[in-house]
A and B are shown apart, each in its own frame.
Chain A
């Protein structure tokens, strides 16, 4: 486990015992000594590069895409289309439309069914003798005795 820690060793980030152990190893291992030199050289090269800002702010783009969105009715409706609520809403709306159309079409002429009244004209009495039917009924009952 010498080579993975060479870069941290070159930057003095290891503790003392680990640093002593790698220092002792490099003194007797040419391969690790050469790798250390190459790591240090590359690190220095990176340090010399100018610090540049990316042309596109990637984080800004990410924030835009991940922040909570505003409520959009059409989008919500679109989502509902794929749910069971869609079917409930669609059925209710269809029934309301059918009932509404029925009343709109029939409103001017629609009349509730006429209920028969309790009092119906079943006897017409002549004004000259309005009790004639009653009188005849009395005679009829007496005659049939």
Chain B
């Protein structure tokens, strides 16, 4: 009885055999290592792209390379998550999976989720938007570019909404023991298409910005961006290692 009480809640609920537990932990460790690796690659590529965008003369070649790396890492993360879901189902039976899913659901709050750009992208966008709003006496070509920037912003929100919808549907697919692989594949591809669209729109936006702002004006904006990047919120550890990552479900375990 004492031994039963001392067992972690998860083990009692799932009623796993020792072999199942060992296999599940191995799968989890492997997936975590893979995903953390992809997150680090994604973080480095994202910071490279931010560095490229902070120079007035846009280096298209470097930007394309960084975007390619970002896209690959984004896709690899989605694939790793799907692969992990398949492996978990090979270890657990239906009843065990139902309990497993119940424990995940108390840690995830998808009904009210929202999608937003990475912090570095948001800082760039906000600072540039403010600079553009302060511009007066624009030439016709500059005015056209400003309108283009606005349209990109509107379209970006639609893509964010589309991605949010797909993420919620994919989470629903992952919550069922009988994994609908076809539906999952379709949603993974849809999410990645949205990610690529967002990245390309951000790039087009950077091109348009340079047609509106002069180099001096652009460099002044960079000072503001520098300060905000230094004051980055501590809680956002998206691209840092596991040791200092803040667990979003930490409160449930206290």
Contacts and interface: CB of A to CB of B under 8 A. Distances in A.
Contacts of A143: 25, 28
Mostly, the B contact residues are helix
Nearest to A139: B32
A138 B82 CA distance: 12
B145 interface: no
Contacts, number: 127
Given A126-B116, A126-B118, A137 B170 contact: no
Mostly, the A contact residues are mixed
Given A127-B118, A127-B163, A130-B163, 8 more contacts: A125-B116, A126-B117, A128-B70, A129-B39, A131-B77, A131-B78, A132-B238, A145-B21
A139 B30 CA distance: 10
A120 interface: yes
Interface of B: 8-11, 14, 16, 21, 24-25, 27-28, 31-32, 35, 39, 42, 46, 70, 74, 77-78, 81, 84, 88, 100, 103-104, 107-119, 160, 163-164, 167, 170-171, 174, 191, 194-195, 198, 238, 245, 247-249, 253
B111 A119 contact: yes
Point out which of B11, B88, B112, B119 has the most chain A C-beta atoms below 10 A from its C-beta.
Answer: B112
Contacts of A142: 24-25, 27-28
A64 B128 CA distance: 95
Given A128-B42, A145-B11, A145-B25, A121 B112 contact: yes
Contacts of B109: 122-123, 133
Interface string A91-129: 000000000000000000000000000111111111111
Contact of A134 (B21, B81, B114): B81
